[in-house]
Structure 1
């Protein structure tokens, strides 16, 4: 009995002590919070050179925190952030597990100002070396785990975004010298996971009214949001014009995402992204506004420890055309392995050409077609074994016909037409490609040696392929990746012709797509014969500074007609097509061709012998030995060549 009594007294004493401690902690909770906050803010201030101040920090209850009069000012910079008041209610049991989850938030008077004056910005501490060095020294190298990283980021986002709350008088400003963008939100309301807000955007003299609605469900791990302008107007993205010289507008933007945690640390993201009435203008893309009626991506992304995969169930809707892309990126021992594939079975041809964005494919606008198409694409790049790179691209046709040309008659090369040569994007010469031009040379009036030398240098299979050489593109990709720059293009003569005859001089991905489509149309529909295409090519090719066509080239270098060229002269002219403005680099100071041209001469001479244009014995005697007798001789006198001529490999 005495033993039980002693135990009861002991338990009561311990319980009383614990109760007193808990009461003490509860009563001094705000003091403890301020102590912890002061230590953290002092560390941040010292690390990033900031002044962080608050008027009051209070823990109203075990799960409620209140802050008044918060400000963040970088040293000798403009104020970055001010906040009048915020009241946050947290989930208690989540806090006990070390997780941060906001249940309710009330915020008023938050102002964030990103200001840059000349080269000094109040946000440059975000990119300071101190931060990078600190992280590098304090964080050990860890193995990449993409599913864990993304799940952690999403947990943070869901934790900070509450189920209920209201943010009032939220203002974000970006200012650079005299230009600015100001975003103002009078009230952002979240009620039962659903949110809505009016947004006022002012950029210099332009004012817009937007509206955002959506749903964020923490339990379902789901996010939906939609953005549009009021009054049936378009949204014009701010800052883009000033930063990139582009204008981007749209009617509505929608995005949704749902997260699933699978077995074996796998993560799956499902969702949809949709835009309507998209208009883009940038002079590097097109001289006209690019318009997309509707675009939609319904995606499934699978994320593993070392892999990111866009599943083939993903659907892309692009105006009238729909397809299922597959993308996979895997990192093994610091080396990436990328795979991309598209397989689209037979579909109406006009769905493709009717879906091309207006303003982007100017030559094909308005084109009408019939028949069916099917497309296969595969690109597989293992950076640990670049030689194993795979590239496949094939557009098949069934009963295909062009019923009506668009803005450009794609068969114009079949007859005489006017060609315009450009220098740095500016037209420098225009001349007809036909009998009315005094320098025009029919194909049968050009030396067979020159014709074959150029073909073997530029595109030996020209008369046998349909505009594309996938193996040449594959080899060019491998070489470009090895040297880490764009050194080869894998272009055929047809591709070079289309680029020069039909397209603008802006180098971008869209132009390459338009080039590929026009090449396919010309070759598939036989809009121009191979013989005529090669004739055009030799009559528009640049052979030196402002020297266009084989007639001018023959006279400029050798005072000859194209039919009179020797084997050595033909091989020389073929060698300078890739870099015509630098033809002097092929010559030594004495005006003779450099010795390093021997490899190129031997290569082309061997191919001429294989084609039966010269004998094997003659091929063995061919050397880089020519006599320049035309006007080009004046350019060689007294000039020191800058570097050697392109080698056979560079051709």
Structure 2
């Protein structure tokens, strides 16, 4: 189809040409006037900016000279920024900034050129103040002025655009030093030289006056919303000394790469796509693991969504560890009720590839383990902070033709035969205990009273014979309780988990050890490496039931002078009651060897549960409470009936993290994540708090000495 020709009379063409010419002349005239007045306008704008910085932020800004060196390039010298009553924030010898003219017509300031010579930016943390407090104060003021509902996608778009607009097409930075001083206990300095030429970024960073040399190279295309960077160091790993100095942690890697692939609106949401990858990353921190953990290769292809009231890592994202991959979904919903969501989905993949993908040093006891078959994994977690009791949690690792073909460092079937168990107290080995017939205190499961077995199972793990090592409902309730209490108060460990923790793993309380515990439990339970009966038998023979008392054989003779087969329902309930805090066991007795009255409610509560389940006959008198009697030889060591005991002083929850020695009193990142500061060794805690607060210091010292003497006698009973 041929379009018809449109004929425009010459008269109208001439009129149009005259109008365009007049507009062009006017623009040129205005431009000439603006050009002639630009120095005066610049001085006025500089003065206005300095006044605004002083009024709004309390900043004393000084500029030695400012003037144009080109059509749109401003050169300034001797620039200093000093917050009120704080250390100098910045001092720059010479700075030239060029802007793009066309975006200015639409109110956008985009940099075309930046040149900087001889300057520094210094952030100082001192006491409870910093020299960047003015930023936080301004943000607080802005938040009170803008009480309307925030549009998160628009905010994300504006922030990203502002960052990209400030990246120039060409840059030349020489001798720019970034300093950080944290209470004079940890210092960092980065002397930087960097250039951008046609989008190619090259930089060299001198860390702490020659301690190491870093390089950050890449490609920047801010107009297309595409950025890519690669960081590495000369002749060594790239690491931050600050982490070791301040947090007693080590973090290093060979190379780190990050990329912004795209950003823009996706419906009502704002979507940012990018990737992050690292090679040979080393992590060492006492709360995470006692040894170096090395992640040889990791990558995350991420799609981040910013919605009207949420921020999410979308399920289209993929995380790679070597040849294994998993799809994460993380969502944080803001508002009156904060909501946390986490989903992990690993599709069916080679089991050995998954095992090989675990970071080196994470699972020491499983090093060298060979498996065949496939596995898949799903996790679902949802917590509405307003109704924590409704928390949802499920975790499923599904084997497909899975089989262990070679043991690693540890034979997970070792407990099927006699073995030597070494219990630890406060990180120190106590004594070797043979779990087998050669030990006179070893008691086969068939020789243990059902009263004791049923009492412990009811109290510790009612579904032991039916679960596969984990009870999701117990874990779910623990999450709810711990969230409401804002601390770790309740655990979700099964007997299987307690057994693995004590027999196969070190006594170090770290996140890595907890993760290893979970994996070993899964391997044992799903592959039926150890029968439930043998697991229970071993557990009953290694469990701590008092000060240096291990196993039911030692405990039944120690407390009651009985064989394990002869324990009554009352004896069983008492022993079950001390499992969570075995070192407090002696303080449950009166001076005559009978139980203290406060224990009656426990007996009635647990006894009623057992009766409903058909594990014991109903007993309105308290399920043997009044028949429990400590053997006469131990009664001389009992504390007075009037003594007030803090039973929390005897045992820490196992899941608690070890203390980290700090160089100052400020809380660090790990304290904020895991809660609290460093804890004292529980071995130095006082077991008894005298009820009479009016006692003299001398009397208190004498009581403590007497208590220590009793404890030593209890450790070595006659």
Query: Under a length normalisation based on structure 1, what TM-score does the superposition of the two structures give?
Result: 0.87
1:181 to 156, 181, 188: 188
Structure-2 separation of matches of 1:286 and 1:645: 26
Task: Give unpaired runs (5+ residues) of structure 1.
Answer: 1-10
Q: Specify which structure has the higher proportion of strand.
A: 1
Report matched runs for 1:202-351 at 5 Å: 202=208, 207-231=211-235, 233-331=236-334, 333-351=335-353
Q: Residues 328 and 449 (structure 1 numbering): CA distance in 2 closer, same or farther, change over 3 Å? A: same
Query: Pick from 103, 116, 133: which aligns with 1:107?
Result: 116
Choose the corresponding residue for 2:516, options 514, 517, 540. 514
For residues 483-539 of structure 1, the C-alpha deviation after alignment (integer angstroms, 9 at most, x for no partner) is 232222211100111112122333343322211110011112222221121111112
- CA–CA separation in structure 2 for the residues paired with 1:632 and 1:365: 49
- Tell me the secondary structure at the aligned position of residue 543 of structure 1: coil
Secondary structure of the residue aligned to 1:324 is strand
Which of 84, 89, 94 is the aligned partner of 1:85?
94
Tell me the distance in 2 between the aligned counterparts of 1:376 and 1:272. Answer: 23
CA contact (8 A) 1:33 1:58 kept: no
Instruction: Give runs of aligned pairs for residues 129-208 of structure 1, distance below 5 A.
Output: 131=137, 135=141, 138-175=144-181, 177=184, 180-185=187-192, 187-202=193-208, 207-208=211-212
- Sort the Cα spacing of 1:16 and 1:298 in 2 relative to 1 into closer, same or farther, 3 A: closer
Partner of 1:65: 74
* CA distance, structure 1, for counterparts of residue 528 and residue 637 of structure 2: 43
What is the CA RMSD across the aligned residues, in angstroms?
A: 3.1
Between the aligned partners of 1:211 and 1:129, the Cα distance in structure 2 is 29
- Secondary structure of the structure 1 residue equivalent to 2:553: helix
Superimposed CA distance per residue, residues 322-342 of structure 1 (whole angstroms, 9 cap, x where no aligned partner): 1212222223x4212232223
Q: Which runs of 5+ in 2 are unaligned?
A: 1-22, 654-718
SS in 2 for 1:200: strand
Give, in whole Å, the separation in 2 of the partners of 1:305 and 1:536.
55
Contact 1:167 1:188 in 2 (8 A): yes
Alpha-carbon distance between aligned partners in 2 of 1:16 and 1:530, rounded to the nearest angstrom: 91
Deviation of 1:281 after TM superposition, in Å, equals 2.2
Deviation sequence 1:242-289 (CA, Å, 0-9, x none): 122122221111000134322544211111111112222233333332
Distance 1:84 1:20, change over 3 A: closer
1:372 and 1:138, CA in 2 relative to 1: closer, same or farther beyond 3 A?
Answer: closer
- Calculate the TM-score normalised by the size of structure 2: 0.80
User: 2:241 is paired with a residue of what secondary structure?
Assistant: coil
Q: Is the 8 A contact 1:285 1:360 kept in 2?
A: no
Alignment partners' CA distance in 1, 2:201 and 2:269: 30
Q: Distance in 2 between matches of 1:71 and 1:448?
A: 80
Instruction: Decide whether aligned partners of structure 1 residues 52 and 539 sit closer, same or farther in structure 2, where only a CA change above 3 A counts.
Output: same
For 2:357, the equivalent position in structure 1 comes to: 355
Q: Is the 8 A contact 1:498 1:519 kept in 2?
A: yes
Which segment drifts farther, 132-141 or 361-370?
A: 132-141
Q: CA deviation at 1:408?
A: 1.1
CA distance in 2, matches of 1:211, 1:146: 34
CA gap of 1:209–1:98, structure 2 versus 1, over 3 A, is: same
Return the match for 2:49 from 37, 40, 65. 37
The CA distance in 2 between the partners of 1:31 and 1:73, in whole Å, is 21
CA contact (8 A) 1:591 1:636 kept: no
